[in-house]
Structure formats: structure tokens, C-alpha cells
Chain A
Amino acid sequence: MAVAVSIVDVVKHFGALRALAGVSLAIEEGEFFGLLGPNGAGKTTLISCLAGLVRPDSGTLSVLGHDVVTDYREARRRLGIVPQELVFDPFFTVRETLRIQSGYFGLRRNDDWIDEILANLDLTDKADTNMRRLSGGMKRRVLVAQALVHKPPVIVLDEPTAGVDVELRQGLWHFVRRLNGEGHTIILTTHYLEEAEALCGRIALLKQGKLVALDTTANLMARHAGDSLEDVFVRVMRG
């Protein structure tokens, strides 16, 4: 198995605040990987470094062997990011949004795949609705759709289920599992630990910008003698 994401000694400060204190991590192709930690642990900052939205002070990151700074075009083509913040462009409909996003990745006539994504995220009947008129949960689904337009081999979901109803959450996990089954590498952050426990094969725990645990979900549970991932989480964070 090749390395999908490689993170080596990444340090990032925001002014005096040390958001990442030297994080190293390798994620294999095809993994369903959980990146967990309390609020402010540095999860989003790490993802932003991977996406090229944040430039690390030191250290390197690469996606399928392509450095995110020196070889950013190839790295970004292989990466689909669902941002944590609920952002949207109010000028466009759902379909326009997805066509535009495809174009940014150099893809034209992407409608077959767009239709498939829309169907899987239960957005088909909203395709021609303006983004402004969607509910919060629907906007979140469009964010997921936008991350998938270019069929990225590595997909990062930063709290994709915040504010999403049960039905969609299940639909979303079904879809993401299918993508994972087809070979896509999935990286997930969430504060719903039951979700992470059920989905993720391996988990990293971040605390104040440091990696405090990294193992398979099963090993973590066994080592910390926890009944649930939540127990493990609480113990690791205390310790």
C-alpha cells in the first residue's frame, strides 16, 4: 500500500499560539482514518496545512507523493476537502456551484458525475435551488458534493455531520463508506465519537497541537481498557 498522506514534523504558530507542535503522521491508501481531539487541538489547522490554506512554519506534507507546496497542483487535484465552516456562494444554484467547482479542477461536462453525487446526497430535487434558500444541513451536503466533483482519491471531512439530521447522516456514511470501499482514502474529524468508533480503522488523537495517540481503533480500545472510544478519549486527554 502506498502512502496517501504524509505529514512530517509540521509546526505552526499563530502569533504566540502554537497550534501544531511538530506533528508527524502517515496515512495509507484506502484507510478510513479518524483525526480526533478536543476543540482547539489543531485538527482543522492540520487539514488546512494539507490543503495549502495554511502554510506551516516548518515541516512538510504530501498527498500521494506530491508535496503540497512545491507540487501543489498535483497534490490538490488528489485532495477533496469538506471544510468545517458552513460556507457557500450566494450567487449560484446547487448545480451551478458544482459545475463551477468542476471547472476550477479543469473538468468540463462533468454532469453525469454531478448527478450521481446529487442523488447520493439526496440533493437531486434541490439542484436548481439557489444556495441561499437551502437549510443549514442541505448547505452542508453541498459542501460535501463540492469536495467530490473531481473524484479525489483522498477525501478529508472536517466535521461533516455537524448540524445534519439522522437520516442524512446515515446516508452520508453509506456514501462515504462506498467511496472508501472503492479505494478512496478517507480522513474524518468529528466530535461524535460513536461515529468515529464505527467507521475509522485507525485513529489519531491530537491535544494542544501534539499527537498523543495513534493506533488502530481496536488497539486503542484494548490498550486503554475502554468500553467505548469515548472512554479512551477521556482517559488519553486526562493523562
Chain B
Amino acid sequence: MARAPARQLIGFWTLFSKEVLRFWKVGFQTIAAPVLTALLYLLIFSHVLEGRVQVHGVVYTAFLIPGLVMMQVLQNAFANSSSSLIQSKVTGSIVFVLLPPISHTAFFLAYVLAAVVRGLAVGVCVLAVTAWFAPLRVEAPGWILAFALFGGGILATLGVIAGIWAEKFDQLAAFQNFLVMPLTMLSGVFYSIHSLPPFWQGLSHYNPVFYMIDGFRYGFFGVSDVSPLVSLAVVVGCFAAVSLFTLGLLKRGWKLRH
């Protein structure tokens, strides 16, 4: 019989692996579909704008690719934790996770890490497919990884909150369409915020996703709208804040233990 810390670790690992297996078994929807979406964005936008626009001295298509990769990392991290949780709540199978002695911290880490794995898996595939369309540099891979991990972590955590909060699928869709989509789309995926009017530029600085994308892109080109250190501080700070908040909710059993 394993000792208590080992049991906790096995419990965490089982839940994490189950969550990874869950999206892996339906990989066509969870990985292939977002890769296709990103590819379509790339084909359309690069067709329209290539040759007319350069950003940071980089051809537009090359500039666009990291933005699309990061957008898919973020959206899929959110989608994974939120859809898994709401599904198991609606079907009732969430009890299988609530009955065992899994701590709220293990629960949190398992859902968030599995969602980050999904985000990264999609991101790597998007990169592999789109990198053929433009010359891409990799100046600082460490920054790329750091922003993908923490950015994915933030959206995965928001997905945990949304999945627990929502009682129906359309409530989750509202969260996704009115919060996650606008924040990711209006964050500089398709443009540099320096090309925006001053008001919108200023507003973008209140969007945490802007820092995720800007810092992520810095890892490729070595140039960015704001210093990558500032971006990393913002992103890590946001991650810490949403994680602590979510751990508090889970500890209280918010909406899970009535």
C-alpha cells in the first residue's frame, strides 16, 4: 500500500493522464480541427496582406505565424479544461473525481496541466504546418516556451473557472465568445499594436493576452512592442493571481460540492 504523498501523486497523475487521454482519443476534433482553422487564417490573411505590410521589419506572413500559434495554444488550453469539466458536470461523471481523496490542489494541477499539454500539442502542430509558408527565425526559444506555458496556464485556469461556473453548454459558449475570443483576437495576433490609433493602443495594454502574444513573438524575432521582461512579469503575475483565486474556489467546493 503506497504512502500518503505517493497516493496523492498517483491520484494526480491518473487524473492528468485521463484528461490527456480524453482529448487524445478525439484528436481529430481537438488537434486537427484547430490546426486547420489556423491554416485557413494564414492562407487568407497572408494572401490579402503579404507584400503590402511589414511589421518590425518582418514580412507579414512570418509575423502572423507566431500570433496564430499562440492564439491556438490559448484557445485550446481554455477549451480543454472548460469543456471537460462542463461535460462531466452535465453527465454527472464528475462524481468519480469528487468521491476519491484527491486534494483540490491535485485537481487543479491535473486539469490545468492537461489543458496546457493540449494547447502545446496544437501549437506545435500549427507551427509545423504553417512554418512552410514563410521564413521563420527562432531567436530565443526559452521565451517562446515560457510564454506558451504561462499563457496556456492562464487560459487553462480560466477554463477551469468557466467549466465549473457554467451550468449549461450555452453559458460556456458565451464565456468563450464574449471573453476569450475577443481578448485573443484583439491582442495583436494579426497586427502590431503600433499600427493602432492611440486609444486602442492604450486599451491593448490592459489586455493580458497582448503580453502573451507579444512576448511569444519576441522569442521568434527578437523584437516586440514592449520589453519581454515586462510581458513575462505581467503574464506570470496574472497566472499567479488566477491560480490562487481558482485554488480558493476549489477549496471551498464552489459549485462542485453543494
Contacts and interface: CB of A to CB of B under 8 A. Distances in A.
Interface stretch (B7-15, B50-58, B134-142): B7-15
Interface in A75-103: 75-77, 79, 81, 83, 85, 87-92, 100-103
11 contacts: A52-B98, A52-B257, A53-B99, A76-B99, A103-B13, A104-B14, A104-B102, A106-B2, A106-B6, A106-B8, A107-B7
Given A53-B258, A85-B92, A89-B93, A103 B98 contact: no
Nearest to A72: B101
Contacts of A89: 88, 91, 93, 96
Interface of A: 14, 51-55, 72-77, 79, 81, 83, 85, 87-92, 100-108, 146, 150
B11 A104 contact: yes
Contact of B101 (A73, A85, A108): A73
Contacts of A75: 101
B96 A77 contact: no
Contact of A73 (B17, B18, B21, B103): B103
A151 B26 CA distance: 33
Interface of B: 2, 4, 6-8, 10-11, 13-15, 17-18, 21-22, 25-26, 88, 91-93, 95-103, 253, 257-258
B93 A88 contact: yes
Given A53-B95, A75-B101, 5 more contacts: A74-B101, A83-B92, A89-B88, A101-B96, A104-B96
Contact of B22 (A53, A76, A87, A91): A91
Given A106-B10, A106-B11, A76 B100 contact: yes
Contacts of B2: 106-108
Given A54-B257, A85-B92, A87-B92, A105 B100 contact: yes
B14 A103 contact: yes
Contacts of B4: 73
B88 A108 contact: no
A54 B258 contact: yes
A14 B258 CA distance: 9
A221 to B, nearest CB: 34
Contacts of A51: 98-99
A91 B21 contact: yes
Rank and list the top 9 A-B pairs by shortest CB-CB distance, nearest first.
A106-B7, A103-B14, A87-B92, A104-B100, A73-B101, A76-B101, A89-B93, A106-B10, A87-B93
Contacts of A14: 258
Contacts of A105: 7, 11, 100-101
A100 B11 CA distance: 9
Contacts of B257: 52-55
A104 to B, nearest CB: 4
Contacts of B14: 100, 102-104
B88 A81 contact: no
Contacts of B96: 87, 89, 100-101, 104, 146
A52 B11 CA distance: 17
Nearest to A108: B10
Nearest to B5: A106
Nearest to B26: A91
Nearest to B15: A104
Contacts of A76: 99-101
A73 B105 CA distance: 13
Contacts of B98: 51-53
B25 A101 contact: no
Nearest to B88: A89
